[in-house]
């Protein structure tokens, strides 16, 4: 029993220290939020406010959770993100209900009503305005009078929405009749605007103009752009009904210009391009936090159950009555566990439903990371066995193994390429290149493949095409290579022609026509559209006979669309197919002849070098170590980040190979800590995640270069040789 009390005391001390740390973090994030709001950087303000909410949640500070959630909701409200504002106001209200009534509680319900007003949901707005009224009636606060004035105005607006114009006019006139006061200027201006719209509804246009012009004059003092936009639109509407087209057009133009300015300002504040990605990221973080909380709750429940069982066992020794209580407690505990299991099942079902829309991205993430690691093992083992001069009888199996690994690697890369295009993460290059030379290089690289199928492979280039163009030669090569590979695969003892023609040349802009024609098996008419869908190859029989992933044409179509073109397909079964498209380029200039740098290395450079390999996967340890030792490298293996830091601190290495995903401290954090005491030793990241999405982030932690799994042996050695 003594040990139990010592354990509880230790846990309490630990939790207390954690609470102090989170309080410091809350102050830090609050200050960052305030400074970003002043700088009109609302996206950062939202980010740091959410950080403050998360820390407050961890420290179970309900007051701070309520205040920071209210602040987040107001930021959304200012940016006209009313759906997000409503959600956050409702959350803040749920926190305030657990606390003593306050002005912020009243303002939260009031702003929630305003959000519903903006959504034209007057019924719910009225409910929350009534709640606000109830809260301030129980408060003795200096804010009560101001909130009452605001509620009185909203009462008039809701009456107007119900068609009760007389009551609405009476309320607005009461507000207008109050003595001039800068504190209620915005309210008074809104009342003038609202009564102007009421008079317009009654077709008393001159009176409406009078109120609206006064509203516009008052608005000039308070500089409320949204309010001014509404007044200008109302003036335009009244003048239009009075058949004064000039004034109607003038005010409408002012309204549209102002509305556009407001929209641009809000977009600049928010960083609209990243907003959806930010919201999705926050949603995923929230799911992870809920999962962690459930795990912590389960641990707490297990601990609580253990204490309960010990207590019941102790009491059961004292008397038969204690035994009865023990049995009752067991039954109650079992019931609670059943309820928790059911709740857990419901939560899992909810999570599955929410994750359904993200199934594709999660699948791709799994493919990228989970398959690249074993693929690294397959390709690495195949490479090591081929280097050991296997028997001729074994060569067939090793070649098949290597082919399978290369095929899976290509399959993964094609899936990730499609995802990258769909996510708009692909960037178009505009560089000077020689189109004719590019096509000739492609022809030379595919001659052997053409010969395997006994095909004639012809290249027809229009000599009027400028020698040099400005565009994206990498993506153009990818398109043409895919189409030619496709044509050669489905053609036997036939012909494949690649045709390029100059369609037009105007003002240094060239439009070039590309066509790849084959005499292969052709595509059925009912498959001409679906052939561009992912994983589609026309029919099951075609897939079985010719193989392939069914992703090549999908990538081609998406890349051509990205470059501003449109692919066309003509095909007759048994006669062949024709794929054509047009792309626009700027006319370029002659390329400077630069001596090509060869990426070669001497094995002697690697001999006797000391390299620390930080890798938790045993198979990858074995393969990587064997590949290093084959070059005479002395390899030390560590399987976690903590030991890697200590080993790097106490020993000198020529280079460190750091796996990114490690148990405990991951590779990026380990690198960051090593850089605090060692700035010289090269550190190269080993990762199974897509390099294009990962490289800049990894380099920011202090890594010198990145090798993506499954790695190609020569590239693996070449990168290492560049740094040792």
- Note the pLDDT tens digit of each residue in 258-309: 888 877 777 766 665 555 555 566 666 667 667 776 777 777 777 777 787 8
Dihedral Cα 121, 127, 128, 130, nearest 10 deg: 140
Q: What is the pLDDT at residue 8?
A: 40
Which residue in 251, 227, 255 sits closest to 240, CA to CA? 251
Q: What is the pLDDT at residue 555?
A: 81
* pLDDT greater than 60 at residue 14: no
Task: Decide which of 143 and 273 is more confident.
Answer: 143
Q: What is the pLDDT at residue 673?
A: 93
Residue 52 buriedness (CB in 10 A; 0-12 / 13-18 / 19+): buried
* pLDDT greater than 70 at residue 397: no
Determine the average pLDDT of the residues in 391-413: 61
Determine the average pLDDT of the residues in 676-695: 79
CA–CA dist 231, 532 (Å, integer) = 52
Please state, as a whole number, how many other Cβ atoms lie within 10 Å of the Cβ of residue 621. Answer: 18
Q: Which residue shows structure tokens 């999962």?
A: 291
**Paired residues of 604 in beta bridges:** none
Please state, as a whole number, how many other Cβ atoms lie within 10 Å of the Cβ of residue 371. Answer: 18
Task: Decide which of 360 and 631 is more confident.
Answer: 631
- Two tokens at 556? 């081609």
**Which bin fits 364, alpha (ψ -120 to 50), beta or left (φ > 0)?**
alpha
Q: Which residue shows structure tokens 């590239």?
A: 715
Q: What is the pLDDT at residue 460?
A: 92
Which residue in 68, 60, 63, 59 sits closest to 19, CA to CA? 59
* pLDDT greater than 80 at residue 593: no
Q: What is the pLDDT at residue 33?
A: 85
Summary count for the chain: helices (H), strands (E): 27, 12
Determine the average pLDDT of the residues in 356-375: 58
Q: What is the pLDDT at residue 272?
A: 55
Region of poorest pLDDT, from 160-169, 260-269, 681-690: 260-269
User: How far is C-alpha 335 from the chain's CA centre?
Assistant: 41
CA–CA dist 55, 661 (Å, integer) = 26
Which residue in 450, 564, 557, 459 sits closest to 516, CA to CA? 459
Q: What is the pLDDT at residue 299?
A: 76
- Side-chain-side CA neighbours of residue 216 (13 Å): 18
Region of poorest pLDDT, from 44-53, 99-108, 193-202, 260-269: 260-269
Region of poorest pLDDT, from 59-68, 196-205, 599-608: 599-608
Which residue in 646, 637, 641 sits closest to 618, CA to CA? 637
Q: What is the pLDDT at residue 346?
A: 79
What's the pLDDT tens digit per position in 227-257? 888 888 988 998 888 888 898 898 888 889 8
Q: What is the pLDDT at residue 148?
A: 81
Confidence of residue 20 (pLDDT cuts 50, 70, 90): very low
Q: Are 457 and 488 in contact (CB under 8 A)?
A: yes
Our CA angle for 469, 471, 473, nearest 5°, is: 95
Q: What is the pLDDT at residue 168?
A: 84
Q: What is the pLDDT at residue 178?
A: 81
Q: What is the pLDDT at residue 4?
A: 41
Which residue in 486, 484, 494 sits closest to 439, CA to CA? 484
What's the pLDDT tens digit per position in 69-87? 998 988 888 888 888 889 9
Residues above pLDDT 70, as percent of the chain: 78
Q: What is the pLDDT at residue 313?
A: 73
Q: What is the pLDDT at residue 308?
A: 76
Determine the average pLDDT of the residues in 557-571: 88
* pLDDT greater than 50 at residue 15: no
What's the pLDDT tens digit per position in 431-490? 898 988 888 888 887 888 888 889 888 999 998 999 899 998 888 888 998 899 888 888
- Two tokens at 175? 């507000």
Determine the average pLDDT of the residues in 136-151: 78
Q: What is the pLDDT at residue 145?
A: 75
What's the pLDDT tens digit per position in 77-133? 888 888 888 999 999 999 998 888 888 888 898 898 889 988 888 888 889 888 888
Task: Decide which of 651 and 138 is more confident.
Answer: 651
CA–CA dist 515, 492 (Å, integer) = 19
Q: What is the pLDDT at residue 9?
A: 41
Task: Decide which of 52 and 16 is more confident.
Answer: 52
Determine the average pLDDT of the residues in 381-390: 66
Q: What is the pLDDT at residue 511?
A: 94
Task: Decide which of 395 and 46 is more confident.
Answer: 46
Which residue in 647, 643, 625, 621 sits closest to 634, CA to CA? 625
Our CA angle for 100, 101, 107, nearest 5°, is: 140
Region of poorest pLDDT, from 149-153, 313-317, 437-441, 586-590: 313-317
**Paired residues of 570 in beta bridges:** 578
CA distances from 636 to 4, 46, 258, 614, 625 (A): 43, 46, 66, 8, 8
* pLDDT greater than 90 at residue 669: yes
* pLDDT greater than 80 at residue 201: yes
DSSP 3-state percent helix, strand, coil across the chain (nearest 5): 70, 10, 20
Q: Prior bond to 710 cis, omega within 30?
A: yes
Q: Residue 425: helix, strand or coil by DSSP?
A: coil
**Paired residues of 706 in beta bridges:** 685
**Paired residues of 514 in beta bridges:** 500, 581
Q: What is the pLDDT at residue 2?
A: 43
CA–CA dist 641, 664 (Å, integer) = 7
Task: Decide which of 16 and 504 is more confident.
Answer: 504
User: What's 665's DSSP letter?
Assistant: S
Q: Which residue shows structure tokens 């912590």?
A: 296
Q: What is the pLDDT at residue 405?
A: 60
CA–CA dist 631, 383 (Å, integer) = 14
Task: Decide which of 408 and 156 is more confident.
Answer: 156
Region of poorest pLDDT, from 40-49, 580-589, 679-688: 40-49
Q: What is the mean pLDDT of the chain?
A: 80
Task: Decide which of 596 and 85 is more confident.
Answer: 85
User: What's 141's DSSP letter?
Assistant: -
Task: Decide which of 670 and 297 is more confident.
Answer: 670
- Chain length of the chain: 724
* pLDDT greater than 80 at residue 386: no
């Amino acid at each position: 029993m003594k040990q139990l009390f010592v354990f509880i005391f230790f846990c309490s001390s630990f939790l207390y220290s954690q609470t102090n740390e989170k309080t410091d973090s809350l102050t830090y994030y609050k200050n960052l939020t305030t400074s970003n709001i002043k700088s009109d950087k609302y996206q950062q303000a939202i980010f740091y406010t959410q950080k403050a909410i998360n820390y407050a949640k961890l420290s179970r500070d309900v007051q701070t959770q309520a205040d920071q959630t209210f602040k987040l909701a107001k930021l959304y409200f200012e940016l006209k993100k009313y759906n997000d504002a409503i959600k956050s106001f409702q959350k803040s209200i749920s926190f305030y209900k657990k606390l003593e009534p306050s002005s912020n509680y009243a303002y939260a319900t009031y702003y929630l009503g305003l959000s519903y007003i903006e959504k034209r949901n007057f019924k719910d707005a009225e409910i929350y305005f009534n709640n606000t009224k109830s809260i301030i009636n129980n408060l003795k606060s200096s804010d009560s009078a101001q909130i009452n004035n605001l509620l009185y105005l909203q009462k008039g607006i809701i009456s107007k929405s119900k068609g009760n114009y007389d009551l609405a006019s009476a309320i607005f006139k009461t507000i207008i009749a109050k003595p001039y006061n800068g504190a209620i200027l915005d309210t008074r201006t809104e009342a003038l605007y609202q009564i102007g719209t009421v008079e317009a509804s009654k077709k008393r246009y001159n009176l409406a103009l009078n109120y609206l012009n006064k509203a516009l004059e008052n608005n000039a003092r308070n500089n409320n752009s949204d309010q001014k936009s509404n007044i200008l639109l109302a003036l335009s509407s009244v003048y239009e009904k009075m058949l004064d087209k000039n004034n109607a057009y003038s005010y409408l133009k002012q309204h549209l210009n102002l509305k556009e300015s407001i929209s641009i300002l809000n977009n600049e504040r928010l960083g609209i391009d990243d907003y959806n990605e930010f919201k999705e990221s926050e949603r995923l973080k929230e799911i992870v936090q809920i999962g962690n909380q459930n795990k912590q709750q389960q641990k707490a429940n297990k601990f609580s159950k253990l204490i309960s069982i010990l207590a019941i066992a102790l009491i059961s020794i004292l008397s038969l009555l204690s035994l009865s209580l023990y049995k009752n407690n067991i039954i109650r505990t079992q019931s609670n566990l059943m309820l928790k299991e059911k709740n857990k099942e419901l939560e899992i079902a909810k999570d599955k439903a929410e994750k359904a829309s993200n199934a594709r991205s999660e699948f791709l993430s799994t493919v990228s990371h989970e398959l690249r690691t074993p693929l690294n093992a397959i390709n690495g083992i195949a490479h090591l066995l081929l280097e050991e001069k296997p028997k001729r009888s074994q060569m067939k199996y090793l070649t098949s193994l290597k082919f399978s690994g290369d095929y899976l690697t290509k399959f993964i890369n094609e899936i990730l390429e499609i995802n990258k295009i769909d996510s708009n993460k692909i960037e178009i290059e505009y560089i000077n290149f020689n189109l004719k030379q590019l096509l000739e290089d492609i022809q030379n690289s595919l001659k052997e493949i053409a010969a395997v199928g006994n095909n004639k492979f012809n290249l027809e280039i229009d000599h009027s095409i400028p020698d040099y163009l400005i565009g994206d030669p990498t993506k153009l090569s990818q398109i043409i290579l895919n189409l030619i590979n496709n044509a050669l695969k489905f053609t036997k003892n036939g012909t494949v022609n690649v045709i390029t023609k100059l369609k037009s040349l105007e003002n240094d802009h060239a439009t070039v026509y590309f066509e790849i024609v084959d005499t292969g098996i052709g595509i059925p008419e009912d498959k001409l559209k679906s052939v561009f869908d992912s994983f589609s190859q026309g029919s099951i029989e075609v897939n079985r006979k010719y193989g392939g992933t069914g992703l090549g044409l999908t990538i081609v179509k998406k890349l051509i669309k990205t470059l501003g073109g449109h692919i066309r397909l003509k095909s007759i079964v048994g006669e062949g197919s024709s794929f054509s498209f047009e792309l626009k380029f700027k006319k370029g200039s002659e390329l400077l002849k630069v001596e090509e740098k060869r990426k070669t290395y001497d094995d002697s450079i690697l001999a006797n070098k000391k390299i620390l390999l930080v890798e938790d996967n045993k198979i990858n340890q074995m393969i990587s170590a064997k590949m290093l030792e084959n070059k005479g490298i002395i390899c030390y293996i560590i399987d976690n980040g903590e030991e890697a830091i200590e080993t790097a601190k106490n020993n000198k290495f020529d280079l460190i190979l750091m796996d990114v995903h490690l148990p405990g401290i991951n590779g990026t954090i380990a690198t960051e800590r090593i850089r605090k005491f060692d700035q010289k030793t090269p550190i190269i990241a080993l990762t199974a995640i897509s390099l294009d999405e990962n490289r800049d982030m990894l380099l920011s932690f202090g890594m010198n270069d990145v090798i993506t799994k499954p790695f190609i042996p020569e590239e693996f050695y070449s990168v290492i040789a560049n740094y040792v």
